[in-house]
A and B are shown apart, each in its own frame.
Chain A
Amino acid sequence: MRGHEPRSTSSCAACKLLKRRCSPNCIFAPYFRSDEPKKFAEVHKVFGASNVSKILVEVPEEQREDTVNSLAYEAEARLRDPVYGCIGAIALLQRKMIQLQHDLALARACLARYVATPSVIVSSDDHHRVITGPFDDFPVDCGVSFDSFNQNISYELNQEAI
């Protein structure tokens, strides 16, 4: 009777794509399941199986899943945008951050003026009260409307709930 090596019942996505036998200690198998062929295909296309294997071998085992997921994210970004890859997303986030910092500085300056200058009641009787605020002479609007205030507060509450 001719002996034979037991065949692996299911190859991982990597070994399927690479058309090789998936060994029990295949480094790719825990992270590239056979039901997710696209994940490895993209990573292989951008980085190459050999480079991915070298990267995984260099990181501790408990961090390999995160490593694979970040490689998959980068690969997908690069295939979607071959020129900029993830850098496109980083540039977008940096621009958003700069805009937010600008808006926050403006809002804080506005609030500081409110705190520094209290309101003044010009005249009052039972029917008419003319009240001047601290910014009636200022052309710049602090940019707060009651509607946006409501929306922003809802957002904040939702975020806190998360």
Chain B
Amino acid sequence: MSFGRCAACRYLRRRCTQDCILSPYFPSNNPQRFASVHRIYGASNVTKLLQRLPTHLRAEAADSLYFEAQCRLEDPVYGCVGLIFLLQQQIHSAESQLFKTQAEIAVMKSQTQYPQTQPFRAISGSNNLLLQQSDNDANL
């Protein structure tokens, strides 16, 4: 039974063996996936990285390498780090808005619990503001 070459071996123009470490993660129907990864990392580095990982984690590693390679090809200066910066900025902005809204809620809540005090009760013929105090002084 002969197996077709994986995208990696096809790209590298070599024979694809049955135990090719790259073939499960770079199938022949998606040549662009390996081309991207190869351009940024190189076949040798990708192979070494995957070899160091247990088999059940290699698929995730290959996916993340592809994602990062794509980011770097789209943005050669910042790669996926640009996305990290953007997210950090968005988080900072959302946190500021949240704190502002929480502050407004606290103000509304305190106004609900402690409304402004009513003015002193008036007694005829006397200064309103001194009413309570002047009565007390007269009684001493």
- Identity of the chain B residue whose Cβ is nearest the Cβ of A47 in the assembled complex: B41
A73 touches B81 (CB 8 A): yes
Q: CA A46 – CA B109 in complex, angstroms?
A: 55
> Does A35 have its Cβ within 8 Å of any Cβ on chain B?
no
Q: CA A152 – CA B92 in complex, angstroms?
A: 13
> Does B102 have its Cβ within 8 Å of any Cβ on chain A?
yes
B64 touches A84 (CB 8 A): yes
B67 touches A87 (CB 8 A): yes
Q: CA A103 – CA B94 in complex, angstroms?
A: 10
Given A83-B60, A93-B88, A144:B109 Cβ within 8 A: yes
On chain B, the residues within 8 Å of A100 by CB distance are 91, 94-95, 98
> Does B57 have its Cβ within 8 Å of any Cβ on chain A?
yes
What 0/1 pattern do residues 101 to 120 of A give for CB contact below 8 A with B? Answer: 10110011011001100010
On chain A, the residues within 8 Å of B112 by CB distance are 114, 119, 131, 133-134
Distance in Å from the Cβ of A151 to the closest Cβ of chain B? 9
> Does A90 have its Cβ within 8 Å of any Cβ on chain B?
yes
Q: CA A100 – CA B84 in complex, angstroms?
A: 16
Number of interface residues of A (CB under 8 A): 56
- Interchain CB contact (< 8 A) of B90 among A66, A83, A97, A108: A97
Stretch at the interface among B14-22, B24-32, B42-50, B123-131: B42-50
Q: CA A152 – CA B107 in complex, angstroms?
A: 13
What 0/1 pattern do residues 91 to 116 of B give for CB contact below 8 A with A? Answer: 11011111111111110110111010
B76 touches A111 (CB 8 A): no
On chain A, the residues within 8 Å of B53 by CB distance are 82-83
A85 touches B84 (CB 8 A): no
On chain A, the residues within 8 Å of B40 by CB distance are 47, 51, 55
Given A97-B91, A100-B94, A86:B84 Cβ within 8 A: yes
The 3 closest A-B pairs by CB, nearest first: A93-B87, A114-B108, A133-B112
Interface residues of A (CB under 8 A from B): 45-48, 50-51, 55, 58-59, 63, 66-67, 70-71, 73-74, 78, 82-87, 89-90, 93-94, 96-97, 100-101, 103-104, 107-108, 110-111, 114-115, 119, 121, 124, 131, 133-134, 142-144, 146, 148-149, 152-153, 155-156, 159
26 contacts between A and B (CB under 8 A): A48-B44, A51-B42, A55-B40, A70-B77, A70-B78, A70-B79, A82-B49, A83-B53, A83-B57, A83-B60, A90-B87, A100-B94, A104-B101, A107-B101, A111-B101, A111-B104, A114-B105, A131-B112, A142-B109, A144-B105, A144-B106, A149-B102, A152-B102, A152-B103, A153-B103, A156-B96
